[in-house]
Amino acid sequence: MENLRLGRHCTIVALIATFVVIATLHAGVAHSQTKGSQKSQDPNTLRIETELVQIDVVVTDKQGKLVTDLKREEFQLLEDGKQQTISHFSIGTATRPANWLRTTPVAANKTASVAPAVAPPLADTGRYLVLAVDDIHLKPGNLMLTKQTLTKFIDQQLGVSDQVALVTTSGQVGLFQQFTDNREALRRAVNRLSVATRSVTNNFDVPRITPYQAELIDNGDMDALELPVQELMAKQNMDRRQAVSESIARARAILQENRYLTMNTLSTIENIVKDLRGLPGRKVLVLLSDGFLLGGQREGVYFDLRRITDAATRAGVVIYSIDARGLVAMPDSMDASSPSFFGSGRLAGVRLSIENSSIQAERDGMYALAEDTGGRAIFNNNDLNWGLQQVMNDTESYYLLAFEPLVSYRDGRFRKLEVRVTRPGLKVRTRKGYFAPDDKATEKAERELAKAAEKDKTKAPEQLAAEAKSAANKQIVSGLASLFQRREVPIETAVTFLNEPPRGVQTDIVAHIETYTIRFKSSGDRQTAKLELIGVVYRENGKEEMNFLETVNMNLKPSSHETALKNGITYTKRLQLKPGYYQLRMVARDDGGAQLGTASNWFEVPDLDKRQLTLSSIFFPQSNQIEEQSPDSTRKPDVAKPNPEPQDMARPAIVYRRFKSGSSFNFMVFAYNAKSNDKGATDLAIQTQVYSGNQLIVATPLKNFQNEAEPIVQQTAASQPISDAGRPYMARFSLDKFQAGEYELRLVVIDRNAKTSAKRSINFTVE
């Protein structure tokens, strides 16, 4: 760590936009990686005429430990009992995904091939984890335990490079249904979980019929029917004929209600799995539930689980099921103090048998989901954190196998998959199958498209333009709602805040858009393209706070076009937001290619009026320099000063925080509401901490805040009191001994006068 002085730097090439924007072409520390290899189609994208099937495989020994040293020749892959040729083999880990292939299939009629698309680069991240909370079936007590478990998991077990999405089968979490590594956002999502159990029965019903008992009654089980009949006769003085009729009617109503709840849960899981198909690589879905009934079989009366198995095979999703009830010793209704307890002797034995059988029946669906997708079902353990740790351990390593079926039936039937290993004593877990393509359905869809194309020829240009606009709007809405980051047009964003008296707290959005996938058109000696930037800021409760739409019309000379392809463009926008917790969702849409990219950020705008010690965002000035507008910019700087103040030096924030091992980076932060002593002096100290996952690897000694920042303060002609503008701290951090990986920079500031502290953290990557 050492003191740092920042100077002024070179001009930036500006782009002319239809709406007033700041768009710059530049290269920086964050973009030092070479992009030339990304301009052409990804080498891992194949054009094939048959169905390429990729399945991930986990292999364990007799003790349940992962086996990670198997070779391609030790695997055997069978489809419907016939051995297939493994055409692709790769090994993946929690931090280094396997090499998944992306395909560009030809059209089913074999006469016209699909135009090759530019494959987006794989995100440099760890595991993608979907935490699916089945709040429809979780009892209140188990939901509270689940919340505590997930909070502990986020704080202590989550990897630094893992991306997590929290979803519920009821849909109540709302905005939080997106992948993020922001632990604060995840904790808030968990806190928002509430009881959504839609029980079709309760302990005060007369007669008391459980959903599983209703299934038995519907299937003609006379013992299951006798229980409610005897209860009605005893408690409501019904004759037997009336009691039988009432019991059957009640059972059918319960059966119908329970079928709806099961369909809701499984349809939600299926949709989540399908949505993940566009995200390259392997994904893990962890289902936490009290269980649900399938209706008797996997092809189910309620729901065909093979649909989820097929979707998981195509999307690369593996499901783990955790029973939130833990170890169930005795059903609640068997407690003699329970209002639902009825009967003695033989009736009590019948009730006990039904209740015990229902526990297993409710687990059958959870077990099938895990077993058929290559995961594990974790039951009978009261430590849910242990269960989640088993999931994390189990996903540390896997194998990826791909094959093209020897015979492509293309009849829409379910094909069974099996993987074996030649090494004895090992257990293999993988997906159980998939539905083959259906040429008849495909050809029917193509005929419908052809008819629509012919119909379009008769439409007026205005109508076609309106339909194109409607299609674009639907695409944008879909992008804003996407569970994961879309990367047809790669975009990354950052949101920072800074107090700038007298204007107050200012929030800056900085977006960097890669342009090598944008479809430019030649117009004379220029390259033209139209890029739409759509942003929506939501409050934590899901309500929209504001939105903006900007259109960037690029009309570039060859040299500028080449620079744009190499370095991308940067867009900044300043907002004024009230204090609160927000999410930014942003879409960049290439109008020429009808393709888009998405990005999202959770951020907090603090309330400085509370007069509590608060830190600004952490800024990463590039190359010790301040970015300024060039003379040919379409917009003047907000404030033109010959000697910029520290706040101006902090903009714009670097979106990509990626640094080479052995290099160093500059950072800065501002402290607000520091308490002054009787002499009007503040006393702040700062410690820089660096974490790798949950492990602290660097902690510097406490530094005097003022002394570190003093060189900057002396050269600043501040027009506002330093207490209003904030006290700046700037330093350089060396990465000499850092290995490649993901890290968290955490700054802890102590106000000795107020005996309080504040912290701010941000992730960065060492390459």
Strands 283-289 vs 317-323: parallel, antiparallel or unpaired: parallel
pLDDT tens-digit profile of 79-124? 999 999 999 999 999 888 888 887 654 433 333 333 333 334 344 5
Q: Enter the pTM of the model.
A: 0.78
What is the pLDDT averaged over residues 465-485?
86
CA 437 from chain center: how many Å? 29
Task: Look at residue 509 in the predicted model and tell me its pLDDT.
Answer: 92
Which part of the chain is CATH 3.40.50?
A: 128-394
Nearest to 275 by CA among 303, 318, 312, 321: 312
pLDDT tens-digit profile of 358-410? 888 999 999 999 999 999 999 988 889 999 999 999 999 999 999 998 877 78
Domain 7-37+476-766 falls under CATH 2.60.40.10: yes
pLDDT over threshold 80, residue 297: no
Task: Look at residue 342 in the predicted model and tell me its pLDDT.
Answer: 55
Task: Look at residue 86 in the predicted model and tell me its pLDDT.
Answer: 95
**396 and 93 Cβ atoms separated by less than 8 Å:** yes
Percent of the chain exceeding pLDDT 90 equals: 43
Which part of the chain is CATH 2.60.40.10?
A: 7-37+476-766
Proportion of the chain in helix, strand, coil states, percent, rounded to 5: 30, 30, 40
End-to-end CA distance of the chain: 20
Task: Look at residue 419 in the predicted model and tell me its pLDDT.
Answer: 96
Task: Look at residue 614 in the predicted model and tell me its pLDDT.
Answer: 94
pLDDT band (50, 70, 90) for residue 341: low
* Mean confidence (pLDDT) of the chain: 80
Task: Look at residue 332 in the predicted model and tell me its pLDDT.
Answer: 54
Residue of 556 and 450 predicted with greater confidence: 556
Task: Look at residue 32 in the predicted model and tell me its pLDDT.
Answer: 35
Cα–Cα distance for residue pair 197/333, rounded to 1 Å: 18
pLDDT over threshold 70, residue 214: yes
pLDDT over threshold 70, residue 175: no
Q: Which two tokens stand for residue 607?
A: 């309330």
Nearest to 475 by CA among 337, 595, 391: 595
Highest mean pLDDT among 68-77, 179-188, 373-382: 68-77
Cα–Cα distance for residue pair 185/173, rounded to 1 Å: 12
Cis peptide upstream of residue 621 (ω within 30 degrees of 0): no
Q: Which two tokens stand for residue 693?
A: 């996952």
Backbone angle region of 83, left / alpha / beta, with phi > 0 → left and psi within -120 to 50 → alpha:
beta
pLDDT tens-digit profile of 671-708? 999 999 888 888 999 999 999 877 899 999 999 885 44
What contacts 561, CB < 8 A, 6 or more positions away? 520, 527
What contacts 650, CB < 8 A, 6 or more positions away? 496, 498, 616, 619, 621, 668, 670
The CB-side HSE value for 536 (13 A sphere, CA atoms) comes to 15
Fold (CATH) for 128-394: Rossmann fold (3.40.50)
Task: Look at residue 654 in the predicted model and tell me its pLDDT.
Answer: 66
Task: Look at residue 725 in the predicted model and tell me its pLDDT.
Answer: 74
Least trusted range by pLDDT, from 335-349, 459-473, 516-530:
335-349
Task: Look at residue 415 in the predicted model and tell me its pLDDT.
Answer: 92
**287 and 366 Cβ atoms separated by less than 8 Å:** yes
